[in-house]
């Protein structure tokens, strides 16, 4: 019956570009697709022969059909991607956890900065990414910042106001545009250098620096010439790691795809100026019955609506029906012709074969890692759906505050990865705010310190930083007030793409941005149980640290009351025993064994401990 109702709708489909949506029972979005002709594309699903197994299964389950007409195929492609991210249809091939991959943004200010964001915006800034390899991104930024340092501060320099330079200026890590001594033109030379490195345009950069070095040496500016020589050596070391892929200086992407057992991996080899400068890889969710051709077509749409780097050519392992529409979309973005093709022979075919081999190896490695990693995938999927998150929150960080009337206030951060605690990523903070207790201000301080540290580590390309890995979801203990604090901090730091939720203890209500009413999950919900575990672990970690500080304060105040125990001896006792309870358990012999403790002082301390109880 459902099939007959759908067939009846075919007559009303327009011969126009747009997006079509197959709906299941209860309005579930089963599949989202795009078409240059809605009438022709949707009718192909109902052909007795020629329809793929996935298409036949979609028609079998669908009870309704919806569609949206667009002005052109480019609009259809963008809308299709947005609807897939929103609804996560089970018959669409989807990128797994794509929100985790950052972009680098060169701001549109008078003196631009490098900022890490979750998604590009239409704000006049320049974006690079997405970057799926933190290691390669750190290497690029480390080289870029050494050769072409840019400011890392948030000062508003657009109005021409000058400031006293900071430590980075004196260390040579910032040209100091805040001082007013650097012209925008001179600073923009560094900006273009950073952009060239992030884009892989190192050949032009090397030639330009060579000319500058020779000019400096000719004019006997030897210090500048030596500095340029060092920059060139750093760039040459980077180029040595970039293999020559083609004899011609062409920009292209070689795409590979691998699928097996409901999983997939899409991989793109990036060739710029004829050199292989890197690769980007994305684990995929692949529906049952989906052919490699269908998976590739859907991966291409999602990848190229995200990437900021559009090459002259996109090389595929085999042809897909979407190739022409994709070429037109990319050409409009690049403002030049773009070829999307499957090469049959030669060096280009070898590049595609390399991409295919790497995709297959990456899929195998990803499957092995997923088997070995402990995680509660069902709870994460349920959580993503319950909180209306674009993707499954792979890394969740929870924050809590512990204090008694504002004294010895502490903050905690715990991290759960794949639904399980990642204890080496736990962090604790001693709150610095003095005066009247203010839970909101304390939470703001802890969040600001955590994410400011992370941004600083990324901007300084500090490998293995304690804070450089950002979460997919921030969970704060509390209600709307704590939620708004977290949102404000992330927005001010340029991290508004990170999702936020607040969990209130009393009724276990979940507060999310843009919702007037809280979300209430069933008590037996696996998603709620996961949030409770994370929230309770953050609370335990904060209380534990708070108690430690209180014990130390009690011990320190008792030690201060014993004549003869100054700062050095007090520190020795604190380091050795840590708490009043441990010190009270110590025998007189234990006290006498401490270096620099005479018998008379040990006796005084022993007596004070046991008299004051």
pLDDT in tens, 68-96: 999 988 889 989 988 998 888 989 998 87
pLDDT in tens, 330-354: 999 999 999 999 999 999 999 999 9
Query: Which stretches does DSSP call E strand in 79-234?
Result: 94-95, 103-106, 114-117, 126-128
Q: Closest by alpha carbon to 252, among 150, 359, 354? A: 354
Residues in Cβ contact with 506 at an 8 Å cutoff, skipping those fewer than 6 apart = none
31: left (phi over 0), alpha (psi -120 to 50) or beta: beta
Domains of the chain, earliest start first: 2-92 (3.40.1440.10), 252-372 (3.30.420.10), 381-548 (3.30.420.340), 561-612 (1.10.150.20)
Question: How far is residue 305's CA from residue 209's CA, in Å, rounded to a whole number?
Answer: 34
Question: How far is residue 149's CA from residue 529's CA, in Å, rounded to a whole number?
Answer: 47
* Count of C-beta atoms within a 10 Å radius of residue 313: 19
Q: Closest by alpha carbon to 336, among 251, 256, 273? A: 251
Q: What is the mean pLDDT of residues 296-324?
A: 93
Q: Which two tokens mark 500? A: 């936020």
CB 104 within 8 Å of CB 198: yes
Question: What per-residue confidence (pLDDT) applies to 613?
Answer: 43
Q: Of 10-19, 139-148, 416-425, 571-580, which gets the smallest average pLDDT?
A: 571-580
Q: Which two tokens mark 193? A: 């250098």
546 or 335, greater pLDDT: 335
Question: Considering just the CA atoms, what is the radius of gyration of the chain in Å?
Answer: 30
3-state secondary structure 43-75: HHCCCCCCCCHHHHHHHHHCCEEEEEECCCHHH
Name the pLDDT band for 276 (thresholds 50, 70, 90). confident
- The torsion defined by the Cα of 329, 334, 336 and 337, in degrees rounded to 10, comes to -40
Does residue 256 have a pLDDT over 90?
yes
Name the pLDDT band for 268 (thresholds 50, 70, 90). very high
DSSP 8-class letter at 177: G
Q: Which two tokens mark 28? A: 């579930």
Q: What is the mean pLDDT of residues 568-575?
A: 67
Question: What per-residue confidence (pLDDT) applies to 201?
Answer: 79
Question: How far is residue 348's CA from residue 344's CA, in Å, rounded to a whole number?
Answer: 8
Q: Of 67-76, 441-450, 589-598, which gets the smallest average pLDDT?
A: 589-598
DSSP 8-class letter at 227: H
Q: What is the mean pLDDT of residues 60-64?
A: 90
CB 187 within 8 Å of CB 175: yes
**Mean pLDDT score across all residues of the chain:** 83
pTM of structure: 0.62
113 or 146, greater pLDDT: 113
Best mean pLDDT range from 109-118, 311-320, 597-606: 311-320
Name the pLDDT band for 407 (thresholds 50, 70, 90). low
pLDDT > 70 in the chain, percent: 84
Q: CA-CA distances (angstroms) from residue 36 to 278, 341, 382, 385?
A: 33, 19, 35, 31
CB 20 within 8 Å of CB 9: no
Question: What per-residue confidence (pLDDT) applies to 153?
Answer: 82
210 or 19, greater pLDDT: 19
Q: Closest by alpha carbon to 397, among 462, 477, 492, 475? A: 475
Question: What per-residue confidence (pLDDT) applies to 50?
Answer: 62
């Amino acid at each position: 019956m459902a099939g007959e109702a759908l067939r009846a709708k075919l007559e009303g489909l327009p011969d126009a570009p747009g997006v079509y949506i197959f709906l299941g029972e209860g309005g579930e979005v089963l599949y989202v697709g795009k078409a240059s002709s809605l009438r022709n594309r949707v009718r192909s699903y109902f052909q007795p022969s020629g329809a793929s197994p996935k298409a036949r299964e979609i028609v079998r389950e669908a009870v309704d059909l919806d569609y949206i007409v667009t002005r052109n195929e480019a609009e259809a492609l963008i809308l299709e991607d947005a609807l897939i991210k929103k609804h996560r249809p089970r018959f669409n091939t989807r990128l797994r956890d794509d929100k985790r991959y950052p972009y680098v943004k060169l701001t549109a200010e008078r003196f631009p900065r490098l900022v890490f964001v979750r998604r590009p915006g239409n704000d006049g800034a320049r974006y690079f990414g997405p970057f799926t390899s933190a290691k390669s991104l750190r290497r690029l930024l480390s080289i870029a910042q050494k050769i072409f340092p840019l400011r890392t501060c948030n000062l508003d320099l657009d109005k021409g106001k000058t400031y006293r330079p900071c430590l980075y200026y004196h260390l040579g890590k910032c040209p100091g545009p805040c001082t007013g001594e650097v012209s925008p033109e001179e600073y923009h030379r560094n900006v273009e250098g950073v952009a060239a490195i992030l884009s892989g345009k190192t050949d032009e950069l090397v030639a330009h620096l060579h000319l500058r070095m020779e000019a400096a040496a000719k004019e006997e500016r030897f210090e500048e010439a030596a500095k340029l020589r060092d920059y060139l050596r750093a760039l040459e070391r980077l180029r040595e790691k970039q293999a020559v892929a083609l004899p011609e200086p062409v920009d292209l992407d070689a795409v590979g795809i691998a699928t097996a057992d409901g999983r997939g991996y899409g991989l793109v080899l990036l060739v710029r100026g004829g050199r292989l400068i890197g690769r980007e890889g994305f684990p995929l969710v692949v529906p049952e019955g989906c052919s490699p051709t269908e998976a590739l077509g859907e991966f291409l749409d999602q990848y190229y609506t995200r990437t900021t780097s559009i090459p002259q050519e996109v090389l595929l392992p085999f042809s897909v029906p979407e190739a022409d529409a994709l070429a037109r979309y990319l050409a409009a973005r690049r403002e030049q012709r773009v070829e999307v093709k499957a090469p049959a022979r030669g060096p280009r075919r070898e590049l595609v074969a390399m991409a295919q081999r790497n995709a297959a190896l990456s899929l195998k490695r990803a499957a092995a890692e997923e088997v070995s990693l402990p995680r509660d995938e069902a709870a994460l999927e349920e959580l993503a759906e319950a909180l209306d998150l674009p993707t499954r929150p792979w890394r969740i960080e929870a924050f809590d505050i512990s204090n008694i009337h504002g004294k010895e206030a502490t903050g905690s951060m715990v991290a759960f990865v794949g639904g399980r605690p990642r204890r080496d990523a736990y962090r604790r903070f001693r709150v610095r705010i003095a005066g009247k207790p203010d839970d909101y201000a304390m939470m703001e301080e802890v969040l600001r310190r955590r994410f400011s540290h992370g941004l600083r580590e990324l901007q300084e390309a500090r490998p293995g930083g304690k804070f450089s890995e950002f979460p997919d979801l921030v969970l704060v203990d509390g209600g709307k007030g704590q939620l708004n604090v977290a949102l404000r901090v992330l927005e001010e730091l340029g991290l508004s793409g990170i999702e936020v939720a607040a969990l209130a203890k009393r009724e276990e209500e979940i507060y999310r941005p843009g919702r007037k009413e809280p979300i209430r999950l069933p008590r037996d919900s696996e998603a709620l149980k996961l949030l409770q575990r994370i929230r309770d672990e953050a609370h335990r970690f904060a209380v534990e640290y708070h108690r430690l500080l209180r014990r130390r304060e009690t011990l320190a105040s008792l030690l201060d009351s014993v004549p003869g125990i100054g700062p050095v001896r007090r520190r020795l006792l604190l380091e050795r025993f840590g708490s009043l309870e441990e010190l009270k358990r110590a025998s007189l012999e234990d006290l006498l064994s401490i270096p620099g403790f005479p018998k008379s002082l040990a006796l005084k301390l022993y007596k004070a401990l046991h008299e004051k109880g």
